[in-house]
Amino acid sequence: MIARSLFLSLAALFFSVQAHADTRLRLQDDQPGPTIHKNVYGQFAEHLGRGIYGGVWVGESSRIPNTRGFRNDVVQALKELQVPVVRWPGGCYADQYHWRDGIGPRSERKKTINVNWGDVVEDNSFGTHEFFELVEMLGADAYVNINVGTGTPGEMMEWIEYMTSASDSTLANLRRKNGRAKPWRVHYLGIGNETWGCGGSMSPQHYSDVYRQFATFVKTPADNRPIIVASGGNNEETVWTQQLIDSVKESWTLRMDGIAHHYYTIPTGSWERKGFALGFPESEWFSAFFQTLRIRGFLESNVRVLDAKDPKKKVGFFVDEWGTWYDSAEGASQANLYQQNSLRDALVAALNFHVFHDFAERVRMTNIAQMVNVLQAMILTDGQSMLLTPTYHAFHMYRPFQGARHVRAQLRDVPDYRVGNRRIPKVSATAGIGKDGKLYLGLINTHPSQAERVQVSAARSLAKASGRLLSGSALDAHNTFAAPNQIRPTPVELTGSGGQLQVELPPRSVLVVALE
Ligand code: AHR
């Protein structure tokens, strides 16, 4: 009896090994699709914890090497990342922010209380001029989020005039007096943030009226018209998208160019006990991916709502906050949202990129939360020290996808990665034809311990591939200030055969290669 069941289980094992052929991937590079907007790789920087102060801005008198108050090390790293757009000043903070507090001589700026994030005193030394100086240094687009919760359309109008007017008006002259002659270019203007929550606890109906009122007064010179972004829903909600697309009708006085959705990845799926950034069990490695991949369904359902009313795809669907959110570890608090960042975060980021690429026609901007020292950050700082996180490396590896033409990547015979009764695909793939004309491929192996062989074919013959691989010795492999290069990408060169390419994808890895 024992011998028989042993025989049966060995036979089952043999069969399952035999049954799994290699994963096959076919790239339709002869039929490139829509352009992946560069701003899909956008960032978010809020006055929260050490996101701005200590992270980006240290002030001119700091001992930390800086240029006019901006940390040299952080700015240099962000330049290398080719950050395409930065959203500022929040988040929840946007709805308490009064722009006049942040202009003029720094020593005379008002001190306010950041009631959203720990009641810390905000000295307003980073304001409008500093924000635009930062985005100009980075060569990034500016995404300014307007205060709707405690602001007025009048306050917004005056800020817009201050930022964009080339006239002889009092506000334009005040900007000149404060050191900026030329108007700034405002690429995006967000009308409120999470208006269902910290932005005012509004209903979708009420907010759509408020949106119409505010958006009517977005008055700028014709050559400096921002993309106007409505604040939408979160997670699986479509009611905000539905309400906004139904009630905001474009006219000569009113526009809505995008709706901004939020979705955070919480490994356990519960805000009460989210899970930790490091030292987590395999079940939370898996569930972080499981939870993050739910975004595909949320995008599908919202895009369906938009397609029914806006078939010409005029209105973009933006995800202007996304990323992992863990329980506060030692040294961190709910008020500063500082968290470590591991290999798992890099895979979460890359999985999201792949989904965003699939919705390239509608999803034309996303902003990971947040750029430095907050939530799923690119960079962590501690006094003089700085480290690049695995998420930074993922963004860096995927740079060629900014502005690339999307290429359909058809996967076949992908095994499941299962934990309990839930499963996700072991392999995820994306492809694009970069602005340099090269065909780029991104591959992820979500499995913690098993490699996967992927047979890649394309319309063109594939002779070789070169790029970089990110993996680590542990599920929570991460960089520390003492050991900042524990995890970083390594170069990869592959040679094709018979016009195809065979990729051995190590466990827990992300690969980006250019195919020739
Ligand atoms: O990113 C942190 C916070 O998360 C933002 O301020 C808010 O919009 C969201 O709830």
Ligand 1 atom showing the smallest separation from residue 91 Cα:
6
pLDDT-based confidence at residue 242 (cuts at 50, 70, 90):
very high
Specify if 37 maps to a domain: no
Same domain, 109 and 234: yes
- Residue with CA at minimum distance from ligand 1 atom 3: 91
Residue 477 Cβ < 6 Å to ligand 1: no
> Is the pLDDT at 500 greater than 90, yes or no?
yes
Q: Which of 403, 436, 459 is the last residue of a domain?
A: 403
Environment class of residue 30 by beta-carbon count within 10 Å: exposed (0-12), middle (13-18) or buried (19+)?
Answer: exposed
Q: Each residue of 370-388: pLDDT tens digit?
A: 999 999 999 999 999 999 9
Task: Look at residue 86 in the predicted model and tell me its pLDDT.
Answer: 99
Residue 275 Cβ < 6 Å to ligand 1: no
Q: Each residue of 281-338: pLDDT tens digit?
A: 999 999 999 999 999 999 999 999 999 999 999 999 999 999 999 998 755 677 899 9
Task: Look at residue 5 in the predicted model and tell me its pLDDT.
Answer: 41
Same domain, 481 and 354: no
Same domain, 68 and 83: yes
How close is the Cα of 91 to the center of ligand 1, in Å? 5
> Is the pLDDT at 14 greater than 80, yes or no?
no
Q: Say which CATH number the domain at 446 has.
A: 2.60.40.1180
Catalytic site includes residue 321:
yes
Task: Judge whether 396 and 442 are in contact, CB under 8 Å.
Answer: no
- Residue with CA at minimum distance from ligand 1 atom 5: 91
How far is Cα of residue 31 from the mean position of the Cα atoms in its chain? 27
Same domain, 421 and 496: yes
User: Residue 340 region, left (φ>0) first, then alpha (ψ -120 to 50), else beta?
Assistant: beta
Task: Look at residue 332 in the predicted model and tell me its pLDDT.
Answer: 64
Task: Look at residue 20 in the predicted model and tell me its pLDDT.
Answer: 67
- Residue with CA at minimum distance from ligand 1 atom 4: 91
> Which SS3 state, helix, strand or coil, does residue 320 take?
strand
What pTM does this model have?
0.95
Same domain, 243 and 308: yes
Residue 284 Cβ < 6 Å to ligand 1: no
Residue 92 Cβ < 6 Å to ligand 1: yes
Specify if 217 maps to a domain: yes
Amino acid residing at 59: G
Catalytic residue among 122, 194, 284, 452: 194
Same domain, 456 and 359: no
- Residue with CA at minimum distance from ligand 1 atom 8: 91
Same domain, 67 and 166: yes
- Residue with CA at minimum distance from ligand 1 atom 7: 91
Of 263, 266, 389, nearest to 326 (Cα)?
266
Q: Each residue of 422-440: pLDDT tens digit?
A: 999 999 999 999 999 999 9
Within 8 A by CB and 6+ apart from 421, the residues are none
Catalytic residue among 122, 130, 237, 321: 321
Looking at the structure of the chain, the number of domains it has is: 2
Same domain, 306 and 243: yes
Domain with 426, as residue range(s), is 2-31+407-515
Catalytic site includes residue 237:
no
Task: Judge whether 78 and 42 are in contact, CB under 8 Å.
Answer: no
Q: Each residue of 312-324: pLDDT tens digit?
A: 999 999 999 999 9
Residue 260 Cβ < 6 Å to ligand 1: no
Structure token pair of residue 34: 């829509």
Q: Each residue of 191-240: pLDDT tens digit?
A: 999 999 999 999 999 999 999 999 999 999 999 999 999 999 999 999 99
Same domain, 110 and 216: yes
Q: Kind of pairing, strands 464-470 and 490-495?
A: antiparallel
Other CB atoms within a 10 A radius of the CB of residue 507 amount to 15
Residue 95 Cβ < 6 Å to ligand 1: no
Task: Judge whether 161 and 169 are in contact, CB under 8 Å.
Answer: yes
User: In the predicted model, what is the mean pLDDT of the chain?
Assistant: 95
Q: Say which CATH number the domain at 239 has.
A: 3.20.20.80
Q: Which of 372, 403, 434 is the last residue of a domain?
A: 403
Q: Each residue of 442-462: pLDDT tens digit?
A: 999 999 999 999 999 999 999
Same domain, 336 and 201: yes
